[in-house]
């Protein structure tokens, strides 16, 4: 009480105390700002994501540099996309990604669904094999290819090999058969088939046991010639491990419905990098080093030799676009 009384009787003392409190508050705020600096935006949410004069979006897809629509808008030919406006909305496709069907000439097919700072998703491929008593087909084979010298690989950490069906197996192999993964399932009766996760009685999910996958081939086969009426079809594909949900017996009945739903909901995940060098090696050549001003470089851990760029804390922008990130 005596202290409050002395302040009220001394305007000068009151002024000095108020000034001191303001200074202390400013110092605290400054300390907080140094401990937790403003986080930079990623290259997708930056105000400028593409090279000057280049198309920012294809339909609903934002396309950040180093990707671009047309060769003059991308880092090089590998990151070049085409935007097909005959679709509504338009769709973007990756040039050079192919499907191999052994009865057709490989062709570019892959629609880009989204792009992140380290990966992109593409429309998947589902191989089905349905038992036909009049024309028994014991196995089918199909594959997907990425250019062997490209900075892309089918992600071994985000994808899984998935087989669906009773009495079917899916074999995943590389072209030279050097690596083979097998996923098989067996059902005694239709009561064994339950919606949910693939657990061995309705299908299976297995990891991709290699670090870099540039191409793969699937074989979906039924080793026995007999069939159950509830299970005429089996399927094999590789895709986002978290996206696929088995819906029960109905998935065995109509391969068109199953395939369309899977293509819509289960993307194939592709890792991308600035390829060929580590950060230490790339910094030696400023002409080809992709990281611009106020950025940091991070070596990739996906198995492909290469790196990614990111804005430093407190800076925004696309780290691959000159002049770099800004504060």
- pLDDT tens sequence across 109-118: 578 999 999 9
Higher pLDDT, 28 or 171: 171
Report how many domains make up the chain.
2
Q: List beta partners, residue 57.
A: 62
**Domain containing 171: what range?**
119-272
**DSSP one-letter string for 195-256:** SBS--SSSEEEEE--SS-BSEEEEEEE-SSS--BTTB-EEEEEEEETTT--B--THHHH-HH
Are the CB atoms for 220 and 127 separated by under 8 Å?
yes
Which tokens sit at 113? 């669904």
Asked whether residue 125 falls in the same domain as residue 31, the answer is no
Cis amide leading into 327 (omega within 30): no
pLDDT for 118: 94
Same domain, 124 and 18: no
Distance, CA of 290 to chain centre: 21
Max avg pLDDT among 18-22, 191-195, 243-247: 243-247
pLDDT score at 194: 63
In a domain, 126, yes or no: yes
Task: Say how many C-beta atoms besides its own lie within 10 A of residue 97's C-beta.
Answer: 22
Compute the distance between CA of residue 213 and CA of residue 22 in angstroms, rounded to an integer.
60
Residue 198 falls within a domain, yes or no? Answer: yes
Return all residues near 50 (Cβ < 8 A) that are at least 6 apart: 56, 63, 64, 65, 68, 73, 321
Residue 207 has pLDDT above 90, yes or no: no
Residue 99 burial class via C-beta count within 10 angstroms: exposed 0-12, middle 13-18, buried 19 and up: middle
- The answer as to whether 53 is a domain residue is no
Token couple for 64:
């950040």
Among the ranges given (68-72, 234-238, 251-255), the one the predictor scored with the smallest mean pLDDT: 251-255
- The residue out of 272, 293, 318 marking a domain boundary is 272
- Do 130 and 226 belong together in one domain? yes
Share of the chain above pLDDT 70, in %: 66
Sheet holding 274-275, edge to edge: 274-275, 306-311, 295-299
Contact 165, 231 (CB under 8 A): yes
Does residue 180 surpass a pLDDT of 90? no
Q: Which residue has the tokens 């001394």?
A: 10
Query: Could you give the angle at which helices 2-9 and 11-35 cross, rounded to 10 degrees?
Result: 110
Instruction: Tell me if 235 is assigned to some domain.
Output: yes
Q: From CA 94, how far away is CA 76, in angstroms rounded?
A: 13
Asked whether residue 95 is domain-assigned, the answer is no
Residue 54 counted as domain residue: no
* Single pTM value for the model: 0.77
- Whether 21 and 139 share a structural domain: no
Taking every pair of Cα atoms in the chain, the longest distance, rounded to a whole number of angstroms, is 107
Cα–Cα distances in angstroms (integers) from residue 46 to residues 42, 63, 295, 300, 322, in the given order? 6, 12, 14, 22, 13
Residue 223, C-beta contacts closer than 8 angstroms, at least 6 positions apart: 138, 167, 169
Q: Are residues 158 and 264 in the same domain?
A: yes
For residue 89, say if its preceding peptide bond is cis, omega within 30 degrees of 0: yes
Considering the domain architecture, whether residues 9 and 143 belong to the same structural domain is answered as: no
pLDDT digits (tens, 9 = 90+) for 263-307: 899 999 999 999 889 999 999 999 999 999 999 999 998 788 999
User: pLDDT digits over 22-65, tens only?
Assistant: 444 444 333 322 333 344 456 777 778 999 999 999 999 999 99
25 and 128, same domain (yes or no): no
Residue in the structure block whose two tokens are 């290699």: 210
pLDDT recorded at residue 137: 55
Residue 158 lies in a domain: yes
Q: Do residue 146 and residue 258 come from a single domain?
A: yes
**Which residue in this structure is represented by tokens 């696929």?**
244
- Give backbone dihedrals phi and psi of 78, rounded to 5 degrees, phi first: -70, -30
Question: Does residue 141 form part of some domain?
Answer: yes
- Secondary structure (DSSP) of 132-168: -TTS---EEEEEEE--TTSSEEE-TTTEEEEEESSS-
Residue 242 has pLDDT above 50, yes or no: yes
Residue 175's pLDDT band (cuts 50, 70, 90): low
| Domain identity same for 254 and 128 | yes
Q: Are residues 132 and 268 in the same domain?
A: yes
Are residues 23 and 165 part of one domain? Answer: no
């Amino acid at each position: 009480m005596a202290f409050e009384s002395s302040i009220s009787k001394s305007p000068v003392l009151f002024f000095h105390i108020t000034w001191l409190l303001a200074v202390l508050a400013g110092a605290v705020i400054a300390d907080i700002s140094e401990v937790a600096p403003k986080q930079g935006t990623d290259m997708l949410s930056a105000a400028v994501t593409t090279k000057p004069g280049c198309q920012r979006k294809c339909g609903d897809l934002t396309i950040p540099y180093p990707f671009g629509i047309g060769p003059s808008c991308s880092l090089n030919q590998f990151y070049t996309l085409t935007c097909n406006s005959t679709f509504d909305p338009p769709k973007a496709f990756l040039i050079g990604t192919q499907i191999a069907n052994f009865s057709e000439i490989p062709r570019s097919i892959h629609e880009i669904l989204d792009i992140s700072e380290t990966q992109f998703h593409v429309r998947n491929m589902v191989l089905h094999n349905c038992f036909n008593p009049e024309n028994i087909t014991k196995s089918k084979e199909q594959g997907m290819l990425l250019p062997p010298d490209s900075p892309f690989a089918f992600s071994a950490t985000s994808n899984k090999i998935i087989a669906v069906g009773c009495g079917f197996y899916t074999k995943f192999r590389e072209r030279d058969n050097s690596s083979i993964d097998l996923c098989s399932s067996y059902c005694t009766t239709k009561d064994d088939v339950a919606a949910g996760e693939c657990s061995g009685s309705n299908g299976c999910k297995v990891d991709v046991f290699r670090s870099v996958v540039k191409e793969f081939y699937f074989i979906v086969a039924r080793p026995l010639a007999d069939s159950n009426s509830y299970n005429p079809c089996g399927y094999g594909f590789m895709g986002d491990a978290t996206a696929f949900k088995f819906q029960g017996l109905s998935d065995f009945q109509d391969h068109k419905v199953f395939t369309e739903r899977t293509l819509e909901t289960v993307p194939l995940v592709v890792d991308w990098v600035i390829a060929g060098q580590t950060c230490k090696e790339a910094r030696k050549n400023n002409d080809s080093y992709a990281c611009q001003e106020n950025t940091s470089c991070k070596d990739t851990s996906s198995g492909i030799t290469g790196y990614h760029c990111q804005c430093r804390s407190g800076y925004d922008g696309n780290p691959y676009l000159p002049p770099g990130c800004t504060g």
